[in-house]
Amino acid sequence: MKIGLVLPGFSANENDWGIPALYNFVRTLAATNDVHVIALEYPCRRGAYRFFNATVHALGGAHRGKRDAPRLVADALTTLRGENARKSFDLLHAFWVNKAGWIAQLAARFLRVPFIASVAGGELTRLREINYGGQINFVERSTIASVLRGATRVTVGSRYLQRIASQWRDDALIVPLGVDTSFFALHPNPLPQVERKSRLLNVGSLLPVKAQIKLLDALAHIPNACLEIIGGGTLQPELYDSARARGIAARVHFAGEIPHDRLAEKYRAADIVVQSSLHEAQGLAMLEAAACGRAMAGTPVGILPELAERGAAIAANGFEVGDLVEAIDGAMGRQAEMAARAREIAATEFSLDAANKKWIRLYESMV
């Protein structure tokens, strides 16, 4: 099949992980299909290049400014039309249902091909207290509604997000992105268990929607645990100060952003991987943790509630600090049991191969 993917941005080369889930998605899909990626914003340069077996058409929109937005749209449509003239697309597929989805929708109508819109972030949410979500701004809200109405199929990455999407489409399909279970894997030489503080790990950008501030509050109520937070973002100074103010700075390590190829060792060194987010579309960090055979606990968003139902995690009853404390305490008592179940689920249901088969089945049903 010839597939056109419209994305806000993509990896600049095979050594640039960009968004790892999409890196692996494109790499796996292009092994057996003719894949063309239209990268609207990033990388900053313009031009076409090969990425494994895929072709990436970078439009460099991030540095072109808002005044050039109509031209960016025109360039994307021209690129898609030109590629279609060489050989017709079987379908178009956009991740994020705002600008990327809108451009893919226009192109699909013009080229008369089916179009998949994948909700991939906070497009359907409205968290006014932190100014987060695609439903706050009227223009973006209208764009998203148009894309969801016009898409041939709409996909989401979790049952949690499917419930939200049902306000627009009651036929949204759960088709999650996969995780590389050969890289995120069990420790080859597991260390013996010793008496020590439980090691908690949080992986995510330091942004309000990730709500690590509540995780710090929770840690203050769990004296027999320490915490490592991996990620960078605007809240870093505030979180540093909060840890000191709560008297837990000695038990918190802010690792900052680390290379993707170091993440697996971080997961394997943890006892429990914790999610504190107010919203997750899917939550790849949880699947990476599961693939490494880690127990998980956290807020009831993204894929975590489904993992909890299967015995691989504990989902909090809500978003209050007490809810998070209770979930973490519960996971500490069932760590070995949940860890084994987590690896089994990740390996059989969320591997790159398993995810790719689901996407291919969907594509084939549409052409």
Condensed to tens digits (0 to 9), the pLDDT of residues 140-172 reads 999 999 999 999 999 999 999 999 999 999 999
Q: Are residues 240 and 212 in the same domain?
A: yes
d(CA 135, CA 141) in angstroms, rounded, equals 5
Q: Per residue of the chain (367 residues), give pLDDT as tens.
A: 999 999 999 999 999 999 999 999 999 999 999 999 999 999 988 999 999 999 999 999 877 666 677 889 999 999 999 999 999 999 999 999 999 999 999 999 999 999 999 999 999 999 999 999 999 999 999 999 999 999 999 999 999 999 999 999 999 999 999 999 999 998 776 655 555 689 999 999 999 999 999 999 999 999 999 999 999 999 999 999 999 999 999 999 999 999 999 999 999 999 999 999 999 999 999 999 999 999 999 999 999 999 999 999 999 999 999 999 999 999 998 999 999 999 999 999 999 999 999 999 999 999 8
Residue type, 51: F
CATH number of the domain that residue 263 is part of: 3.40.50.2000
Q: Are residues 172 and 206 in the same domain?
A: no
Q: Are residues 52 and 42 in the same domain?
A: yes
Q: Are residues 73 and 218 in the same domain?
A: no
Q: Does some domain include residue 183?
A: no
Domain coverage including residue 213 = 198-349
Q: Are residues 14 and 163 in the same domain?
A: yes
Q: Does some domain include residue 187?
A: no
Q: Does some domain include residue 120?
A: yes
pTM > 0.75: yes or no:
yes
CB contact set of 179 (below 8 Å; sequence gap of 6+): 21, 24, 284, 287, 288, 290, 291, 346, 350, 351, 352
Of 245, 265, 339, 246, nearest to 255 by C-alpha is: 265
d(CA 201, CA 14) in angstroms, rounded, equals 28
CB contact set of 167 (below 8 Å; sequence gap of 6+): 124
* Total domain count, the chain: 2
d(CA 242, CA 217) in angstroms, rounded, equals 9
Bond prior to 43 in cis (omega within 30° of 0): yes
Question: Is the separation of the CB atoms in 203 and 273 below 8 Å?
Answer: yes
Q: Are residues 17 and 152 in the same domain?
A: yes
| Helix axes of 69-86 and 99-111: crossing angle, nearest 10 degrees | 40
At 206, phi and psi to the nearest 5? -85, 75
Give the three-state DSSP class for 216: helix
d(CA 305, CA 300) in angstroms, rounded, equals 5
At 4, phi and psi to the nearest 5? -105, 120
Give the three-state DSSP class for 84: helix
Of 183, 179, 185, 156, nearest to 351 by C-alpha is: 179
CB contact set of 316 (below 8 Å; sequence gap of 6+): 297, 298, 299, 300, 323, 324, 326, 327
At 90, phi and psi to the nearest 5? -85, -35
